[in-house]
Amino acid sequence: MTLFDTHAHYTDNAFHKDREELLGKLLPAAGVGTVVVPGVDVESSRSALALAEEYGYIYAAAGLHPEDCAGAGEAELEEIRRLCQHPKVVAVGEIGLDYYWAENPSKEFQREIFRRQLALAREAKLPAIVHDREAHGDSLSIVREFPEVTGVFHCFSGSPEIAAELVRRGWYLGFDGPVTYKNAKRAPEVVAAIPLDRIVIETDAPYLSPVPHRGKRNDSRNLPYIVEKLAEWKGVTPENMAEVTFENGMRLFPKIRP
């Protein structure tokens, strides 16, 4: 089966020792056919694009993450806009709201940077990769302000009701390692409630390793654990789930050409 990892941070320092071997050999050999590497600030967005230029199956997203947007202003937003014009930058991301960490930039500032980047996505006609942690209400209401913009809510953790509204508005939902955790209660309900053609898979590498590798560094070779769990919840075969999520990823990121 060919797998599409729609969210992996291969620019992260956790990969500095073996990035070349992993991206050059190990992932393609494991059936990983396409990977999107999101940026979290200007620097990592540039690094993500550098990886995309080096490896044919890798694509980049450019964006300012809510945890990393402190001090961002016109210059940073302008650079994100510029990067989005590159043929291998296929989305604006990772952007959104994170109300979990007390040391994050203020909620008000996060919302402003989120809105500015949704406006960039609208202008560039690109999908957005949204991070929403403990900020479901505000994330949804801001997304409603930009009806022309769709994309993916990555590592979706909201309710079935929010999932249903996002799907209605044309969004995809991304699922990763936590679906394999024993305490995954909402995810089965959400997955049952949304159509198969709106589900994409992701690792969020190096974070969120699925069981049985929980706690260790994550990479796209762990996607089959996520595929299996989603297939079980949806009552399809893992092969079918892999195929459908691959096609969904291609539809989500129209700039990627086979």
The binding site for Ni ion (CB under 5 A) comprises: 94, 204
Least separation, in Å, of the C-beta of 9 and Ni ion? 6
- Collapsing DSSP to helix, strand or coil, 113 comes out as helix
Paired with 95 in beta bridges are 130
Nearer to Ni ion, 41 or 204 (CB): 204
Report the nearest approach of Ni ion to the CB of residue 178 (Å). Answer: 13
Alpha helices for the chain (secondary structure H): 19-21, 27-29, 42-54, 74-83, 107-124, 136-144, 160-168, 186-193, 223-234, 238-252
Q: Report the C-alpha gap between 245 and 94 in whole angstroms.
A: 20
In terms of Cβ atoms closer than 10 Å to its own Cβ (0-12, 13-18, 19+), residue 52 is buried
CB of 65 or CB of 234, closer to Ni ion: 65
Nearer to Ni ion, 68 or 94 (CB): 94
3-state secondary structure of 89: strand
User: Based on CB atoms, which residue is closest to Ni ion, 174 or 224?
Assistant: 174
Query: What is the C-alpha separation between 15 and 55, in angstroms, rounded?
Result: 16
Residue 182, CB-side half-sphere exposure with 13 Å CA sphere? 1
Please, what is the minimum distance in Å from the beta carbon of residue 109 to Ni ion? 20
Supply the minimum distance, in Å, between the C-beta of residue 222 and Ni ion.
15
Q: Which is nearer to Ni ion, 175 or 234 (CB)?
A: 175
Q: How far is the CB of 136 from Ni ion (least distance, A)?
A: 17
Give the shortest CB-35-to-Ni ion separation in angstroms: 13
* Residue with smaller CB distance to Ni ion, 166 or 231: 166
- Nearer residue to Ni ion within complex by CB, 98 or 204: 204
Beta-carbon contacts of 149 under 8 Å, excluding residues fewer than 6 positions away, are 118, 121, 122, 127, 128, 143
Name the minimum Å distance from CB 129 to Ni ion: 8
Per the CB < 8 A criterion, the answer to whether 149 and 118 are in contact is yes
Give the residues across from 97 on adjacent strands.
132
